[in-house]
Amino acid sequence: MASKQTRERGFSLTEMLVAVGILGILCSIAIPSYISNIHKTCQTEVANILNILSSTVSSYKAINGTYPETWEDVSEVAVVMTKAGPANAADGNLTEAITTPACDFTISKSSDDASGLFTFTATPDAETGDKAEFNAMSCIDLNNGASDLKLGRRDAEGAVTAEALTCRRQP
């Protein structure tokens, strides 16, 4: 009787380890870039919201002759969406934070200037690690129409601060 030699088909352990190693290296390169792009996309979305808020505040002043004080005032001109739906009286004053429906940014008026300067700050909810650096700030001076928008990690080293905004000329 002749013995039949059968050869098992499949991958050896060495081949599997090499494949997993290559996959791990590719993932370690791609995943941080992917996460960074997600943060930048959310930051761009919130920058658009800040631009709309600046225009809406200006429109409110033009229509009513006074500065808006609450989120409900701003929503009279253009609806401001929050995670709970359109902004209303329950959302309080502009200095109280609201949360955007997507990407979980909190937005609030960060200036208490009675002379028509409105500064809005948008900060990621989960301020852990690098995500906090993807904040955004905007300002509008309702006296001269000047406005500015800055994005963290794009217009500044790390998170952007109010000092980076130029809505008024410094004396």
Q: What is the pLDDT of residues 120-152, one digit of tens each?
A: 999 988 655 567 788 999 999 988 888 999 998
Q: Is residue 115 part of a domain?
A: yes
- The structure's pTM equals 0.81
Q: How many domains does the chain have?
A: 1
Q: Which residues span the domain enclosing 121?
A: 15-164
**DSSP labels for 133-154?**
GG-EEEEEETTT--EEEEETTT
Amino acid at 157: E
Q: Is residue 29 part of a domain?
A: yes
Q: Is residue 96 part of a domain?
A: yes
Q: Is residue 170 part of a domain?
A: no
Q: Is residue 1 part of a domain?
A: no
CA–CA distance, 59 with 151 (Å, rounded to integer): 24
Q: Is residue 169 part of a domain?
A: no
